[in-house]
Amino acid sequence: MYFSKSFIPILKNNPTEATIKSHQLMLRVGMIKQSSAGIYSWLPLGFKVMKKIERIVREEQDRIGAQEILMPTIQSSEIWKESGRYEDYGEEMLRIKDRQGREILYGPTNEELITDIFRSSIKSYKSLPQLLYHIQWKFRDELRPRFGIMRCREFYMKDAYSFDINDDEAIYSYNKFFLSYLRTFKRLDLSAIPMSADTGPIGGNLSHEFVILADTGESKIYTDKRIFEVQSDKAILNKENLNDLRNKFDKYYAVTDEKFNKKDFDEKVPEEFRLSTKGIEVGHIFYFGDKYSKPMNASVDYQGKKEFVKMGSYGVGVSRLVGAIIEAKYDNKNEIMKWPISVAPFDCGILPLINKNDTKNLDKAVKISNLLKKNGLDVLIDDTEENFSSKIKKFNLLGIPFQIMIGNKNEGDIFEFREIGIESKNISINEIVEIIKKKKV
């Protein structure tokens, strides 16, 4: 892709309407464009990153045996009346009337709809567990949408739902999602801590928020620093093993604001390990038993009896993650963004110095680009006539993890190569390909 032909509308300066760095950067490099309060269009650069995040989220759902479906954005009010949440949900729900005067709504979450889908098809306990998920736009009429796509009204969420025969099996399902979240955030190069959390309008009594530390986060958190050392690499999908994994995390005090109790904090956490700071909630999981299955009559036959299924729900803010990664990775002082290569909009930038009417460096850039493409890498060539320093400044903002410079003094197949934010070195193009490919796996 040539920069001159790309749709990457970069602004000269930071937009003044944005107060946090992810919002500033996303507007500055043209990842998103606001269409109205809390509602955004996703432009190519932002959309590419979000799609890559979505792919990782999907792979990690599939890996624990969850099955993907797609539910609509628009729901009927009937099912919400059945669960009793239609009135409770309040003004955050966007309520609409269709031409027949029927009450419909833009889904803020899908517990009711999935319960309705489940009850109409699954009749026997032998079909359990069922783990179903979808990735879809949600709408919540937030009172104060802010921080760009971090707290907006329309956002992209992965939401999953589990159905089991009893509490024990349901906790097993809960723990599978717990593990899949740890794996997902790790692949995004984020250190997300599972914290005991409040259940709010979703309900239930067991819940974890996955939070990444950031000064600009909206959640106040209190934790024992030792939780950062807990390893999850060796976990496997067996009941005992997952129980142990959960216990290893739950052993440490780690809570969000609503669950905070100063006495507990002081008693349970030795002073040197106490950390109270701010974070961004990127995922949230809930166990709520028969909160929806009972009023909505979702049951299965079990030993001659009708049993209401035990349910949990599991959310990841796919669009919010784009901003969260920026908050975690952007170096404000040096104005350098570095996308983890797993989600970077391009793998490598090629920056040829272009003098009027002399296409020598651009020709070299195209050749290198072809070689990188053959190796499965995604490349952006800066074919503008800007000087090196403004090209580098621009690419530092774009956050593409690798840069190849092509100047007038270039000899043979040796090029100036840089991993963003690190000193450059002169190495052969073959070495460059190897370095990038190695990082990509």
Which residues lie near ligand 5CA (CB under 6 A)? 109, 140, 142, 151-152, 155, 157, 159, 202, 281-284, 286, 313-315, 317, 320
10 Å Cβ neighbour count for 156? Answer: 21
Q: Least Å distance between CB 280 and ligand 5CA?
A: 8
Tokens of 295: 């009023």
Looking at the Cβ atoms of 52 and 320, the one nearer to ligand 5CA is 320
Tokens of 25: 């950067």
Q: Least Å distance between CB 52 and ligand 5CA?
A: 17
Looking at the Cβ atoms of 109 and 299, the one nearer to ligand 5CA is 109
| 282/284 Cα distance (integer angstroms) | 7
Residue 341, CB-side half-sphere exposure with 13 Å CA sphere: 18
Q: Least Å distance between CB 363 and ligand 5CA?
A: 45
Looking at the Cβ atoms of 280 and 405, the one nearer to ligand 5CA is 280
Which residue has the closest beta carbon to ligand 5CA? 317
Looking at the Cβ atoms of 23 and 320, the one nearer to ligand 5CA is 320
Q: Least Å distance between CB 16 and ligand 5CA?
A: 22
| 193/436 Cα distance (integer angstroms) | 29
Looking at the Cβ atoms of 312 and 401, the one nearer to ligand 5CA is 312
Q: Least Å distance between CB 154 and ligand 5CA?
A: 8
Q: Least Å distance between CB 283 and ligand 5CA?
A: 5
Please work out, in degrees rounded to the nearest 5, the angle formed at the alpha carbon of residue 75 by the alpha carbons of 70 and 76: 140
Q: Is the dihedral of CA 105, 109, 115, 118 positive or negative?
A: positive
Looking at the Cβ atoms of 249 and 417, the one nearer to ligand 5CA is 249
Q: Least Å distance between CB 248 and ligand 5CA?
A: 22
Q: Are 376 and 394 spatial neighbours (Cβ–Cβ below 8 Å)?
A: no
| 218/416 Cα distance (integer angstroms) | 41
Q: Are 165 and 307 spatial neighbours (Cβ–Cβ below 8 Å)?
A: yes
Q: Least Å distance between CB 284 and ligand 5CA?
A: 3
Looking at the Cβ atoms of 114 and 365, the one nearer to ligand 5CA is 114
Per-residue CA distances from 60 to 32, 158, 232, 281 (Å): 26, 11, 14, 19
Per-residue CA distances from 187 to 62, 149, 184, 200, 440 (Å): 15, 21, 5, 29, 11
Looking at the Cβ atoms of 133 and 339, the one nearer to ligand 5CA is 133
10 Å Cβ neighbour count for 291? Answer: 23
> In the sheet that 348-352 helps form, which strands lie side by side, from edge to edge?
379-381, 348-352, 402-406, 414-419, 425-428
Q: Least Å distance between CB 109 and ligand 5CA?
A: 4
**Residue 430 DSSP SS3:** helix
Looking at the Cβ atoms of 108 and 349, the one nearer to ligand 5CA is 108
